[in-house]
C-alpha cells in the first residue's frame, strides 16, 4: 500500500462486536490498543493496563476478525526489562490472536525489536508522543517541534527500521516531520496527529463515533452525523483517509 500510495486505515477495537464490524467494512489494521485503559476501564492514562487485560481483549477481537491485520499493544512494563522478557510476553499476545505487536520507544528498543524479529514476531514501533511515557514527557504535548528533537525521532525511526521493525506509528508530531520520516524510511508510517503526508491514519474508535467526553485533542475528528449507523461512521472515516481528506490543516500541527 505504501508503494502504491494507497492510504492505510487503522482503528482501535476492544471487543468482538466492533471487531466483526470493522473487519466487515474493510479497516486494514485493527489495533487492540492499551487506550482501553482510558475508554474501557476509565483510567486517566494507559499505564495501569496489565498484560492480562491485553490478552483478554485480544482474544475477544481475534475471535471475530478474518481479514484485517490484528495489531496489539504491549502494555507498560511488559517489554522494557529485557528482550527475553519482551519475547515471552509478546508470545502470549500472539497466542491470543495478535498478528503484530506494537511497542513504544526510540533507539533503546533496537535490540528488542531485533530479538523479536529474528524469532518471527512482527513488530510496530511507536514514536513521537508515547503515552506510556507521559509522565517523563511532562504531559500530552506535541513532540519534535525543535530541530534536535525532530532529528532524534528521525534517527530513531531509521534505527528501528534497520533492526527489523515492520511499521511505525507516529503520534502528535508536526506534519512536516511526519512527511520527512515517511520519505526517509521504506516501511509504512501510520499517523495519529502526524499530518496527511504519512502512509496511513489511526484513531480511537470511540473518538470517530463522537464518544469523547474529556479533553479533545486537535487531531481528533468525529465522523458521526445525524442518521448515521455505526457502520456508516466507520465507512466515512475510511473514505476520508483514502481520499486524504482527513487529516486536514485543522487537525494537523
The full set of domain ranges for the chain reads 8-251
What residue has cell string 497466542? Answer: 95
What architecture does CATH give domain 8-251?
Alpha-Beta Barrel (3.20)
pLDDT along the chain (253 residues), means of 10: 96 98 98 96 93 98 97 97 98 98 97 98 96 71 92 97 98 97 98 97 95 83 85 96 95 93
Q: Is 171 a catalytic residue?
A: yes
Q: How far apart are CA 240 and CA 129, in angstroms?
A: 24
Active-site residue (options: 84, 171, 176, 250): 171
**Of 184, 212, 183, 182, whose CA–CA distance to 200 is shortest?**
182
Long-range contacts of 231-239 (CB under 8 A, 24+ apart): 231/21, 231/24, 231/25, 233/208, 233/209, 234/11, 234/21, 234/22, 234/25, 234/27, 234/208, 235/25, 236/208, 237/9, 237/11, 237/203, 237/208, 238/9, 238/25, 238/26, 238/27
Cell of 1: 500500500
Q: Give this prediction's pTM.
A: 0.95
Amino acid at each position: 500500500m505504501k508503494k502504491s500510495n494507497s492510504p492505510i486505515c487503522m482503528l482501535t477495537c476492544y471487543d468482538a462486536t466492533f471487531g466483526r464490524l470493522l473487519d466487515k467494512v474493510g479497516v486494514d489494521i485493527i489495533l487492540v490498543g492499551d487506550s482501553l485503559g482510558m475508554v474501557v476501564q476509565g483510567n486517566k492514562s494507559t499505564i495501569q493496563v496489565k498484560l492480562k487485560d491485553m490478552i483478554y481483549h485480544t482474544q475477544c477481537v481475534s475471535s471475530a476478525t478474518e481479514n484485517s491485520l490484528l495489531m496489539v499493544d504491549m502494555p507498560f512494563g511488559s517489554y522494557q526489562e529485557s528482550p527475553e522478557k519482551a519475547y515471552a510476553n509478546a508470545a502470549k499476545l500472539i497466542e491470543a490472536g495478535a498478528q503484530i505487536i506494537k511497542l513504544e520507544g526510540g533507539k533503546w528498543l533496537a535490540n528488542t525489536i531485533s530479538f523479536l524479529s529474528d524469532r518471527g514476531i512482527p513488530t510496530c514501533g511507536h514514536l513521537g508522543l508515547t503515552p506510556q511515557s507521559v509522565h517523563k514527557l511532562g504531559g500530552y504535548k506535541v513532540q519534535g517541534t525543535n530541530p534536535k528533537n525532530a532529528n532524534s525521532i528521525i534517527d530513531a525511526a531509521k534505527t528501528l527500521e534497520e533492526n527489523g521493525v515492520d511499521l511505525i506509528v507516529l503520534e502528535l508530531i508536526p506534519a512536516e516531520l511526519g512527511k520527512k520520516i515517511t520519505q526517509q524510511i521504506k516501511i509504512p508510517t501510520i499517523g495519529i496527529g502526524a499530518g496527511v503526508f504519512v502512509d496511513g491514519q489511526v484513531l480511537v474508535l470511540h473518538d470517530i463515533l463522537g464518544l469523547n467526553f474529556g479533553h479533545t485533542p486537535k487531531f481528533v475528528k468525529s465522523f458521526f452525523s445525524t442518521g448515521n449507523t455505526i457502520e456508516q461512521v466507520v465507512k466515512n472515516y475510511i473514505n476520508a483517509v483514502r481520499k486524504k481528506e482527513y487529516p486536514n490543516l485543522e487537525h494537523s500541527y
